[in-house]
Amino acid sequence: MKDGIHPDYHPVVFHDIGADYKFLTRSTMTSKETIKWEDGEEYPLVTVDISSVSHPFYTGKMKYVDSAGRVEKFQKKYGWGKKDGE
């Protein structure tokens, strides 16, 4: 690999504020905030709204939207789905 063309890849702590969960991984992201981790070292802290701990796909707590109501609203708005004589 050529020197100087790749971003700095370093340890970073991500904080999922929705689930109040922190995890240490490697990333190219940077932050002015830092946090002292369990190993005693200080790492950049990046806050995120959703991670695998709080995302509905990974937690199995999917929320289903009332799609039937949406379809009916669309059909009513544009007059679609009506049979002749109705």
- SS3 category, 61: coil
- Cα 15 to Cα 36: distance, rounded to the nearest angstrom: 13
Global pTM value: 0.62
The tens place of each residue's pLDDT in the chain, 86 residues long, gives 688 888 889 999 999 988 899 999 999 999 999 999 999 999 999 999 888 787 766 667 665 555 567 777 777 888 876 655 55
- SS3 category, 25: strand
- Cα 25 to Cα 37: distance, rounded to the nearest angstrom: 12
Tokens (6 digits) for 81: 């789905």
